[in-house]
Structure formats: C-alpha cells, structure tokens
Amino acid sequence: MDITDLVGSALKQGMAWGTDTVRQWRRRTGFDGPRPCDGLILDVDDTLIDTESAIRAAAQTAALEVWPQSTTATRERFAVLFHSDPHGYFTRYTEGRLRFHEMRKLRIAASAADVGLVWEPRRYRRFCSAYDPAFASAQRFHPDAMPAVEAAERWGIAVVLLTNSSNPATRMKLQVLGVSERFPHVVTTDTLGVGKPDPRVFEHACGLIGAAPELCVAVGDNYPNDVAAARAAGMRALWLDRTGTGAGGEPPSIRSLDELPEALRAAQ
C-alpha cells in the first residue's frame, strides 16, 4: 500500500487523516518509521499505578482500626514507614526469602515499633480486613499511564507487565482498574518465586511475547530493579523518575510517561 492508497482508504471510510486508526495504519505501514522495539516490559507500581498513595492511604485506615487511640500524626508516620519499608522486608520477599504475609507482618511490627505503637500479632487479621479494601479502593492510574500503553500498542509493540508485587495483589489492582483483559501478559514475584532484579524474570517476560531481550525496552521507576537489572539482562531500559530526584546515579530517562514514545524512538 502506498500513501495515496492509505489516504484514499481513510477518506472512503469517512476517517479524517490523523485519527487513531489512521495513525495506527501509518505506523504499521512504516510511514511513521520502523517500530522502535518489539516489546515493552512495564513496571506497575509507581510506574503505571500510584501505589505509594494507595499504600499510605490503606496503612492509615488500618492503623486507625488497630490503634483507634493513636493520633493522626502518628498514623501518618506509621503509613510513611510502612510504605518506605526501611528494614527491607519487601526486598527479602522479592528474593524469595519471605512469604508475602510474613513480609507484611514484619513490616507492620517494625513500622509500629518505630513510631511507638504497641503491635499485637493477633490483630493481624483485623489489620488486613481494614487495609485490603482500603488499598483496593485507592487504586488509581497515573494519568499518563494508559495513553503511553496505547501509544505503544498502536505501534504494534507487545506490552508485558513485570511487577515485584504478588500475584493476588496484582490481579486485584488490574481488576479494580478494569484492565484485567487488557494485559494478558503479567509477571509477578509469584510467577517464578523471585522478583526483579533477578534476570530470570526479565527473560521470562520477553519469552511470553516471543521477543529477544535486545529488542525489548524495560520502563520503571526503580533504578536498580527496573533499569540496571534490565540492562544486565540484555535489554534496553528507560528510567522513569517522576520526582526528578536523580537517585539512580544518572539523569532520568523520562520524567513522565508522556515522554515515552519519543524516548523509545531515541533509544533505538
């Protein structure tokens, strides 16, 4: 098909040049240049979804349930520590050294101790029964997330979600956000029993879409796990640094997923 046929077909079907469908044809037929990669390996938490806000909101709700006499300031500090996990329990979970609920119990106990709250392990179920629904109802996409996914798909790039979260938590997030069907390829820490930065999860993600690692680009907010680890696994990688802290030791590749199409083109 040459450009005259393409414009003619679009006009015949009543489509204006520049609509999504025509843009898709333009990319598929090479008018917008070759596809910059075969696969996009996308992190989920704090890349597509604002997980930090959801964790903090849910932790405050659960703290109010378990420690009703605590002050708002104490619950907020508990939530900040529960999210930031300074003792590294989540990392131990992703390394396969802790099970999910062991990890969560340790995070609660450590965060409570750090802010002077008395934690009674028998209250774990009560904590979860407040935390889990609050976490589910706090799920939000970052506004730039789905437009970036759609831009990649219009280019014919296969998308895989690669997250260090658990399988049940990830399923819940995608279901609440109404995109379970939209992402058939999802790799969690439960898939292989380990998470990023283990190279096996990157290799597995590429294998799901039948793409060679060197033809895939990983994108995520965690420099060691999403960028350095992906590069070590033979992939290209873009670091999403939404806050511009530069903590990864190199300038951010992108500050927003709005910049993703251009960054993919430049990363060729």
| Contacts to Mg ion by CB under 5 A | 43, 45-47, 221-222
How far apart are CB 220 and Mg ion at their closest, in Å? 5
Q: How near is the Cβ of 125 to Mg ion at its closest, in Å?
A: 28
User: Rounded to the nearest whole angstrom, what is the least distance from the CB of residue 47 to Mg ion in the complex?
Assistant: 5
- Burial class for 42, CB neighbours closer than 10 Å (0-12, 13-18, 19+): buried
Long-range contacts of 104-110 (CB under 8 A, 24+ apart): 104/128, 107/82, 108/82, 110/81, 110/86
- Rank residues 52 and 114 by Cβ distance to Mg ion and give the closer one: 52
Question: For Mg ion, which is the closer residue by CB, 61 or 222?
Answer: 222
Q: How far is the CB of 41 from Mg ion (least distance, A)?
A: 12
| Token digits of residue 109 | 């106990």
Q: Judged by CB, which is closer to Mg ion: 22, or 221?
A: 221
In the chain, what is the straight-line distance between the N-terminal and C-terminal CA atoms, in Å?
Answer: 26
Tokens (6 digits) for 34: 């070759």
CB closer to Mg ion, 46 vs 198:
46
> Which residue from 135, 144, 119, 214 is spatially nearest to 169, judged by alpha carbons?
135
